[in-house]
Amino acid sequence: MILLSPVDLTIAASLILILALIAWFIGVGLHRQILFAALRTTVQLLLLGFVLKILFDLSNPLLILAMTVFMLLVGGREIFARQKKTFRGVWGFGIGTSSMFISSFTVTLFTLIVVINVHPWYAPQYLIPLLGMILGNTMNGISIALDNLTRTAWDQREMIEQRLLLGFDKKAAILLIKKESTRAGLIPLINSMSTAGIVSLPGMMTGQILAGSPPIEAVKYQILIMFMIASGTGFGIITALWIASNRLFDDRDRLRLDRLISRE
């Protein structure tokens, strides 16, 4: 593996600087966001590198648990922050976080214990990277699906109430919106799976190949990861939409949009 020096990274960073200058020159107005995002990426990944080194050296279950909980909470906060219409109180944060926990942790543990058969199953060099990839993709899928559900329910509230007046129960009244929200959340994932190996080379496989792993072994791990991501994201979206759609109605099947707040 060819090691990268600080000079190499500085040269790569110059491309970001050029992009920010172009954005400023043409008046897009995103130059500061680009620079800030690049700075955040650098700081966060460097900190992660130091933290992972400590976790790998100590392999302490409590520290590993703390790391996974921190990752989950940050992901839940990001889901909450991306919603234009979100639920009031703890529900706004809890729906995305609990759905992500149920799906991502279940899929990760299944993969570690049954598929890869890691000993111990909480080995940080396997658990943290795998969980991180699944959490990140599940977070994106749940964010899109929940945002689509709440915004569409708000925009089509009259149609939902008309269905309720016609005798539909709450499940039937919002069924079409749930289907479209599920589809919206899964489309990016389906696109990435459909074009993998043809249009794009997934990141994990590319990293392993650059690190010197045999291409076939890198491909096998990438297939495993994509199946994990797909199942985790799908389960997470279904769980989140089930909780959220039920929260939009009360026990008497009345639409309760007062449980939402606008963040636009």
Please report the pLDDT score of residue 210 as a whole number.
75
d(CA 70, CA 68): 5
Helix axes 90-100, 61-81, angle to 10 degrees: 130
pLDDT of residue 82: 86
When pLDDT is averaged across residues 204-228 and rounded to a whole number, the result is: 83
Residue ranges covered by each domain of the chain: 1-58, 61-262
Q: How confident is the model at residue 6 (pLDDT cuts 50, 70, 90)?
A: confident
The predicted model gives 228-234 an average pLDDT of 92
- Residues 26, 32, 36, 39, CA torsion sign: positive
Q: Cα angle vertex 127, ends 141, 74, to 5°?
A: 45
- What does the alpha-carbon distance between residue 220 and residue 216 come to, in Å, rounded to a whole number? 6
Looking at 10-14, 25-29, 191-195, 207-211, which range is the least confident one?
207-211
Please state the pTM of the whole predicted model. Answer: 0.85
Q: How large is the average pLDDT for residues 64-92?
A: 91
pLDDT score, position 264? 61
Structure-token pair, residue 58: 């100590």
Averaged pLDDT for residues 152-178: 93
Question: 153, exposed or middle or buried, with CB in 10 Å at 0-12, 13-18, 19+?
Answer: buried
CA 106 centroid distance within chain: 15
Q: What is the reported pLDDT for 220?
A: 87
Give the model's pLDDT for residue 67. Answer: 92
Question: 1: pLDDT confidence band, cut at 50, 70 and 90?
Answer: low
Look at residue 37 and tell me whether its pLDDT is greater than 70.
yes
What does R_g of the chain's alpha carbons equal in angstroms? 21
Rounded CA gap, 124 and 136, in Å? 17
**pLDDT-derived band at 31, boundaries 50, 70, 90:** confident
Residue 79: HSE in the Cβ half-sphere, 13 Å Cα cutoff: 35
Q: What length does the chain have?
A: 264
Distance of alpha carbon 150 from alpha carbon 181, whole angstroms: 9
The mean of the pLDDT values for the chain is 90
Per-residue pLDDT reduced to its tens digit, 114-158: 999 988 888 988 999 899 999 999 999 999 999 999 999 999 999
Nearest to 171 by CA among 101, 238, 242: 242
| Closest to 100 measured CA to CA, from 8, 199, 251, 229 | 229
Burial class (CB in 10 A: 0-12, 13-18, 19+), 80: buried
Show the tokens assigned to 249. 């109605």
Helix H segments across 156-214?
A: 157-165, 170-173, 175-195, 203-210
State pLDDT tens for residues 242-259.
Answer: 999 999 999 888 999 998
pLDDT of residue 79: 92
pLDDT tier for residue 113 given thresholds of 50, 70 and 90: very high
59 has pLDDT over 90: no
Percent of the chain with pLDDT over 70: 98
CA distances from 114 to 2, 23, 68, 146, 243 (A): 34, 48, 20, 31, 29
H helix or E strand, kind and range, residue 261: strand 260-262
